[in-house]
Amino acid sequence: MSCFICNKHTGTTNQPPGGYIYEDDYWMICHFPAEQSVLGQLVIESKRHFLDFSDMTDEEARSYGNVVKKIYTILKQITDAERIYSVVTIDGVPHFHAHFIPRMSHSVTKGMTYLTQEKSCDEKEAIDIALKMKEMFTSI
């Protein structure tokens, strides 16, 4: 079976801007591709191949909550976001992953309109923010 995320974890497909920001026994976190995201948009990916929350082990479920708290804390600090949206659909790639999308207070759109609008950010800025976040994850 070929899985985009599993292949990404082994380095056999495109790597995220700035590389992986955080990794533990269960999760890997990276900035989403710049051409498809807002600056600071993160994705958490399960290391183990499974589909959704019902397939998580108890250890993965406990760990997920702790890692998500770190994501929110770091995104709010580094982007000064008013809100962090979290989205799990798993329709495009059938491997557990969740998006964390910062929305600034000056954003014209909010909610579903914000989430569905066309997005892109600068690749260099995405790499820079990913490297800053990597430092922050080690200190939290």
Domains of the chain: 4-139 (3.30.428.10)
Nearest residue to 8 (alpha-carbon basis) of 99, 82, 97, 72: 97
Determine what percent of the chain is predicted with pLDDT higher than 70: 99
Q: DSSP code of 88?
A: -
> What pTM was computed for the model?
0.94
Instruction: Give the whole-number percent of the chain exceeding pLDDT 90.
Output: 92
Across 89-102, average pLDDT = 95
Average pLDDT estimate for 79-108: 95
pLDDT of residue 13: 86
Does residue 37 register a pLDDT over 90? yes
Our measurement of the distance from residue 80's CA atom to the centroid of its chain's CA atoms, rounded to an integer in Å, reads 17
What residues pair up with 9 in beta bridges, in sequence order?
none
Spatial distance between the Cα atoms of 29 and 32, rounded to a whole number of angstroms? 9
- Who wins on pLDDT, 1 or 128? 128
The set of residues, in sequence order, having a beta carbon less than 8 Å from that of 8 and lying 6+ positions away, is 14, 15, 16, 45
pLDDT of residue 54: 97
Residue 43's nearest CA partner among 84, 83, 104, 2 is: 84
47-71: pLDDT as tens digits: 999 999 999 999 999 999 999 999 9
Kindly report the average pLDDT of the chain as a whole number.
Answer: 95
Residue 103 pLDDT > 90, yes or no?
yes
Cα three-residue angle 64-15-46, rounded to 5 degrees: 20
